[in-house]
Structure 1
Amino acid sequence: MKAIHADTKELLFSLTEASSVAFSQPLQLAEYVVLFVPAGKGVFHADFTTFTFSGPVLLFATPFQLLRLETKEEVPFSLLRFHGDFYCIEHHRAEVACNGLLFNNIYQQPFVQLSSAEARDFSQLIAQLQAEFKQPEPSGIVLKAYLQLLLAKSSAIKLKTLAAGQDGPPADEQMEQFRQLLDQHYLTLHKPADYAELLAVSPNHFTKKCNRYFGKSPSRLIQDRLVLEAKKQLHLTRKSVKEIAHALRFDDEFYFSRFFKKHTGVSPQTFRRRTGISIVADLSMQ
């Protein structure tokens, strides 16, 4: 069940029933991804981040992340894929605050744990989406409404678990300070030792705490923060690749392109072509 872009032939929105076998080998998808796993457990790999999951759970991924599911036995799930041209999460930020929460967040694990009651609600939503797709002419408006409801409910549950301190380790003031420092200085400070010095701790101690708290090394977080900003500018602006490279303080666009491809598997041009340029880019120019 899928909708195809009339002009570019890119996938716009799809809903399929699949299992962990389909994700047993690393793969990249050009769309935003939501996996609804009613039951079962395993390990979810998204780029270089890994974490264990146990259903019922929702798993999230952004375009061109390298994804893999590792399970001891076959785990079925519903797979939602949507293109930014079908539903722009940045444009709908006011209605559904999922950008930076469910997607495009380098600090948090991309999942939402569900209660039995919440899982039943999502099962019903999936069933309603399936029913609409089976119509002779599925309504894009109805499909978007169901997708928006699914994302809104997911965001609400995620925020609730974060507020209750149930999602991840207890808050660490020093690591939260590192998060703020990284968001402020990622363009100019590219070495873990730079941040260790700002935090007045040894580099070794800093690395250990960061790995425990975020599940990533400081080097990985620094790289991820730069890649995240590059993706934002490619998707949310009409700046040229050369202009983006300059804005991100790269010496030239060729070095930037090599850096981007090394960390995403695709060139900046391919990423922009496959994910599209958001409506937000044109609205910001008005």
Structure 2
Amino acid sequence: MSKEHWKNKIQIVDDFESDTASLSVNSMGVYFKFIEENKVIVHFKPLNEVFDTTIFNSNHGVLLNFERELIDEDDIEYALDVMFLFNKYPELEIKDAKEVVLLRQIINLIKDEFYSELASYIMLKTLLKVLLLHLIRSQKDDFLKQDLHQKRVFQFLELMEANFLNETNTHFYAEEIGMSTKRLNQILKEKLNLTAKQIIQQRQITEAKRRLIKSEISTKELAFDLGFSSMSSFSRFFKQYVGVSPSGFKKQH
């Protein structure tokens, strides 16, 4: 995949300023503020949120913004761990010298690849995954201690992945899991800061983007494949989230 096709999926900014824009409403952000040789503070920006501008009191940091689809293309457990990390830990302090050195090395590899004339999307995506998995591993104890609510989140995401093309009603998933829609949304908001409907809609957008880029499907066919009653309702939905129409997005890619 040429750089022209993926340059809007990931963004790296050195000497970050607070008015640097996110990629889109579907983007996630992580800001590394290196305080000293053996200390780094990591700030996370979940989907549909913004960074607290008070964290940018110095410009000695590195910002990574990336589209959600970069994690959605992998296995569901990894995607859930990333979303859980971003929503549970708005700020993470790492003071182990070896950990800080390793983080610097991974970030430098990402930067080297990103700025290279021969930059590879697959390489960047892989390095980003290494970085995120490293941050997840630093909180390993919390992820290993799965409470009942976290297991419910796994259940919902697994059901959604298998059924989102045909089922977009929250009631279906709540009934399959064995709870009320209100309770399901409470659990999802607690763990992922999103409702079931929002998660399903984000998954629809990711799937729509993937098909528009990788296949010759028409907008009308895609609309009905994703469960929309008309092409116009799908186009309005897509433009609301992405900022351009499905046909406009396809032309861009």
TM-score, with length taken from structure 2: 0.66
The residue identity in structure 2 corresponding to 1:219 is K
Is 1:18 matched up with 2:15?
Answer: yes
Greater share of residues in helix: 2
The residue identity in structure 1 corresponding to 2:235 is S
Q: Confirm or deny: 8 A CA contact 1:234 1:272 kept in the other structure.
A: yes
Q: What is the CA-CA distance between 1:229 and the residue it aligns to?
A: 1.6
The residue identity in structure 1 corresponding to 2:147 is P
Task: Map Cα deviations across residues 162-201 of structure 1 (whole Å, 9 max, x no partner).
Answer: 7644499735333322222222222232222222222232
Q: Confirm or deny: 8 A CA contact 2:32 2:41 kept in the other structure.
A: yes
Q: Confirm or deny: 8 A CA contact 1:261 1:267 kept in the other structure.
A: yes
Indicate the larger mover: 159-168 or 196-205.
159-168
Gaps of 5+ in 2: none
What value does the CA root-mean-square deviation take over the aligned residues? 4.6
Cα separation, 2, equivalents of 1:224 and 1:12:
15
Q: Confirm or deny: 8 A CA contact 2:205 2:238 kept in the other structure.
A: yes
Q: Confirm or deny: 8 A CA contact 1:35 1:60 kept in the other structure.
A: yes
Cα separation, 2, equivalents of 1:146 and 1:158:
19
Q: What is the CA-CA distance between 1:17 and the residue it aligns to?
A: 1.5
Gaps of 5+ in 1: 41-53, 90-96, 277-286
Q: How many residues align?
A: 236
Q: Confirm or deny: 8 A CA contact 1:4 1:13 kept in the other structure.
A: no
In the other structure, the counterpart of 2:62 is 78
TM-score, with length taken from structure 1: 0.60
Cα separation, 2, equivalents of 1:206 and 1:15:
36
Q: What is the CA-CA distance between 1:262 and the residue it aligns to?
A: 1.9
Q: Confirm or deny: 8 A CA contact 1:161 1:167 kept in the other structure.
A: no
Residues 28 and 190 of structure 1: CA distance in aligned 2, closer, same or farther (over 3 Å)? same
Cα separation, 2, equivalents of 1:12 and 1:197:
36
Residues 267 and 162 of structure 1: CA distance in aligned 2, closer, same or farther (over 3 Å)? farther
In the other structure, the counterpart of 1:284 is none
Is 1:225 matched up with 2:200?
Answer: no
Q: Confirm or deny: 8 A CA contact 1:32 1:81 kept in the other structure.
A: yes
In the other structure, the counterpart of 2:99 is 118
In the other structure, the counterpart of 1:45 is none
In the other structure, the counterpart of 1:100 is 74
Match of 1:69 among 44, 48, 51: 51
